[in-house]
Structure 1
Amino acid sequence: MTKFSPPAINNKNSKYKVEDILVLHELNKRPTFVNAPLKTFTGHSHSIYSFESRNIFLDFVQVVSNLKENELIRANLPREILKHLTIVELKVILKAISKPVHRTKAVLIKRIETHASDEDISNNTDKSCFVLTELGLEVLEKYKNVVWIHKNKEYIFMYPINSESKFDEYYFMNHWDLDAPNTIIDYYESDNSGIVARIYQIENNLEKSFLYGLRTLTEEINLQLEKCKEVGWFNTSAGLGEFQAMSLKPIFKSLNISDDNLDEILKYIYDFAIKDPSLVTFTNFHEIIIALMTNPDDELYRELLGNLYQSNREKFGHEHYQEDINNYHQKGFDDIEEKEETLMDILDLFFIDENRKLEMVFELIDLLDLEVIKEMKVKIDNRLTN
């Protein structure tokens, strides 16, 4: 057998890496022990798992060593440690130089700075932390967008679930001179208003966050209406997940929008996002959105959407689907045989095209675990032999 011996990996020739910037940020944020780089004065631990959860893989201790070698960090000077010490620790230094130990922390630090030598401080505390050098601060400032996207990417790209984007730490490491929020907004403005709304929220532009959030909600309602027209299917939770995740109702209240202005906004978004006005009049749309914005829960929103979908089902000849769907929900999931039959009945109603029905079956199978698939195979085999 041939021995597996591939060529070694040669890293790209770049002076700094994503992990350098993220660790620099951590060291600048929390005083970290020089002799124990994973521990901070506050008890926080620089756990690699917090990075791995955001798909960044690094050896924290090794990165710290590299930062020291590249002169981006150093150990603190004696007086630089004072602000990180507790009052008890400051009093130890003052007692050693026979000075009063009463008053606030700020006064104690000032007293030490006035009367203690660097040697007095060093001899009476065993704490030493990393400090960013001027070069380290310059590098951190230059690549600040790497830190920004690392902090915010999970929220920005939370919908659709498990979505990915090219705009991650590595992208902004290579494009450090771009303005990160505006770059992502420009890219997604035309096809994902939810991402745009969340960026504006992070940037504390609540007006635009509300407008784009309302747009993404309306776009989802439009999508559900189009589905209802085609197959009679609906989802009365249309857009609620994103709406609630972005806390748009509190934002709406904080903006104190006048009634006339809100009507103007809703009319614009209605004209922009509703592709077939015959599926929902502006009056109905206005009523639905106001119900969501002004009620403490979303029951009325769901009810109004349900009424709208029902009228559209009847309009396009899908009125018999509601009875089938209600029966499906009432039967529940206790009887597996009954559930399978009901799902197939609904599938037959929704899709006349046999190829589309087959695609849907495979999509459902992809969502099931192996044990469920095995059970299904047994039942299929039994049916084929009967």
Structure 2
Amino acid sequence: MTNFRPPAINNNNSIYKVEDILVLYELNKRPTYINDPLETFSGHTHSIDSFKARDIFLDFVQVVSKLQENKLIRENLPREILKHLTVVEMKVILKAISKPVKGTKDIVIDRIQTHASDEDIRNNTDKSCFVLTELGLEVLEKYKNVLWIHNNKRDIFRYPFYYESKFDEYYFMKHWDLDPPNTLIDYYETKNSGIVARIYQIENNPEKSLLYGLRKLTEEINLQLEKCKEVGWFNTSAGLGEFLSLHASPELGEPLSSKTIFKGLTISDDNFEEILKYIYDFAIKNPSLVSFNNFHEIIIALLTNPGDELYRELLYNLYQSNREKFGHEDYQEDINNYHQKGFDDEEGKQEEEEENLMDILDLFITDENRKLEMVFELIDLLDLEVIKKMKIKIDNRLMN
């Protein structure tokens, strides 16, 4: 038998790696103990699991050691530690040099700066932390795009695109000079308007965020109308959850909904009608399935009412009329019977064969990514108690 001896993998010869940038960022963000690199002064732990959750595999302590060797970080100078100490800790220093201890934090720091030597500070605090060198700060600034995608990629891509997009930390490590928002917008402009909407929200451009969000919702309505025409099936929730939950970046505060964005914009009725007409012409491929007036009424109902009940009702009526138009009444009756049987069966009837959710979706959707999206959209709509019951059921099956 021939021995298996493939060529060795040549590691990337780049001086810096994604893990270096992410750890530099953490050390610059939070004062971290020199003698325990996983622990910070605030009690926060640099959890390795938090990186793994974002598909980043690193040994934090090992990376810290490498950063020290490459002179990207160093131990703090005595006076650099003062801003990270509590007032109580600084009073210990003042007592040691027989100076008054009263005053605000700024006053106490100024008093130590004036009267204490470096040795006084060093001898009266056991805290020391990592500080980025000038080189470390330069490297962090150069690869700031790696941090941008690291902090925002989950909100931008969501499941399952989060796992499948090529635009991750490693992509922008190699293409550090590209602007992430513009790069992603250019790429997804014709592929996924929902992603574009979320990028504009992160970039604090609510107008374009709303416009692309409306485009994405209208594209989903168009898709559901086409399916309704073909098989008599519809989903009034499709695209709704995504439209109502555009996310802002952490720096911008709480996430904003599309309704909130709409209310905050000064748009005349004529201007908004013009906008909706453009989106309608752009996304609705078969105007015979929904008139512009009907579409206008549906979107206005969604944006101007506190809940989405009227939106769903109008959309349902639209789908119902199309089902009747294309002769799907009997098919709908079969679907209703199928669902009624499932809901009435409180005992679950475990002895009967259960139909797999993905098999049901196969009847109406061929795109695998969209099927997964729908499953997770459904989960988002479920009551917490229902999810708990689902977990118990899943755990029981795994044990069996």
TM range (shorter): 0.7 to 0.9
Question: Which residue of 267, 270, 274 maps to 1:260?
Answer: 270
Q: How does 1:176-255 map to 2 (within 5 A)?
A: 176-246=176-246, 247-255=257-265
What residue number does 2:307 align with? 297
Q: Is 1:159–1:194's contact at 8 Å kept on the other side of the alignment?
A: no
CA distance in 1, matches of 2:271, 2:102: 59
The separation in 1 between residues aligned to 2:271 and 2:231, in whole angstroms, is 36
Q: Which moved more, 1:257-266 or 1:18-27?
A: 257-266
Q: Deviations over 1:158-182 (max 9, x none)?
A: 1556651110000000000000110
Give the distance between the partners of 2:84 and 2:237, measured in 1 at CA: 50
| 1:382 aligned residue | none
Is the contact made by 1:193 and 1:216 (CA closer than 8 Å) also made in structure 2? yes
Percent identity, aligned pairs only, is 78
1:322 aligns with 2:332: yes
Mapped contact 2:145–2:176 kept (Cα < 8 A): yes
**Larger-gyration structure (1/2):** 1
Aligned residue in 2 for 1:378: none
1:284 aligns with 2:294: yes
Give the aligned residue type for 2:182.
N
Q: Residue 143 of structure 1 aligns to which amino acid in structure 2? A: Y
Shift of 1:67: 0.3
How far residue 147 of structure 1 moved from its aligned partner, in angstroms, is 0.6
Could you tell me which amino acid in structure 2 is paired with residue 83 of structure 1? K
Q: Is the 8 A contact 2:213 2:243 kept in 1?
A: yes
Report the counterpart of residue 318 of structure 2 in structure 1: 308
**Alignment correspondent of 2:123:** 123
Q: Unpaired runs of 5+ in structure 2?
A: 247-256, 376-393
Alignment partner, residue 378 of structure 2: none
Query: 1:10 aligns to what SS in structure 2?
Result: coil
Specify the code of the residue in structure 2 equivalent to 1:305.
L
Q: How far is the alpha carbon of 1:8 from its aligned partner? A: 4.7
What's the counterpart of residue 384 of structure 1? none
**2:330 corresponds to which letter in structure 1?**
H
Q: Contact 1:39 / 1:46 at 8 angstroms: preserved in 2?
A: yes
| 1:260–1:219 distance in 2 versus 1, CA, 3 Å | same
Counterpart residue number, 1:44: 44
Asked if structure 2 preserves the Cα contact closer than 8 Å seen for 1:328 and 1:339, the reply is: no
Query: Given the two structures, how large is their TM-score scaled by the length of structure 2?
Result: 0.83
Letter of the structure 2 residue corresponding to residue 292 of structure 1: L
Partner-residue secondary structure (3-state), 1:158: helix
Q: What are the residue-to-residue correspondences of 1:351-366 with 2, within 5 Å? A: none
CA–CA distance in 1 between the matches of 2:307 and 2:340? 24
Please state if 1:269 is matched with 2:279: yes
Change (3 A) 1:63 1:143: same
In structure 2, C-alpha distance between the alignment counterparts of 1:150 and 1:54, rounded to whole Å:
8
Deviations 1:239-296 (Å, cap 9, x if unpaired)? 1120122121111112242222221111111111111111100111011111111112
Letter in 1 for 2:206: L
Displacement of 1:3: 7.4
- Could you say what secondary structure the match of 2:131 adopts? strand
Equivalent position amino acid for 1:192 in 2: N
**1:159 and 1:242 in contact (8 A); partners too:** no
Quick one: distance in 1 between partners of 2:21 and 2:159? Answer: 27
Deviations 1:15-50 (A, max 9, x none): 000000000000000000011100000000001100
Shift of 1:315: 1.1
Q: CA–CA distance in 2 between the matches of 1:336 and 1:256? A: 56
Partners of 1:40 and 1:14 in 2: CA distance? 29
1:168 alignment counterpart: 168
Number of the residue aligned with 1:136: 136
Residue aligned with 1:147, SS? helix
CA distance in 2, matches of 1:266, 1:337: 51
- In 1, the alpha carbon distance for the partners of 2:132 and 2:352 equals 66
> How far did residue 7 of structure 1 move?
5.5
Per-residue deviation, 1:238? 2.1
Change (3 A) 1:277 1:64: same
Measured in 2, the distance between the counterparts of 1:241 and 1:161 equals 16
CA distance in 1, matches of 2:351, 2:76: 70
Letter in 2 for 1:299: E
Q: Residue type matched to 1:195 in 2? A: I
Q: Secondary structure at the match of 1:157?
A: helix
Q: Deviations over 1:351-386 (max 9, x none)?
A: 9xxxx99x99xx99xx9x9x99xx9xxxxxxxxxxx
Give the RMSD, CA atoms, in angstroms. Answer: 3.1
Matches within 5 A, 1:81-96: 81-96=81-96
1:176-235 per-position Cα deviation (integer Å, ceiling 9, x unaligned): 000011000000011200000001111111111111111101110000001111111110
The TM-score with structure 1 as length reference comes to: 0.86
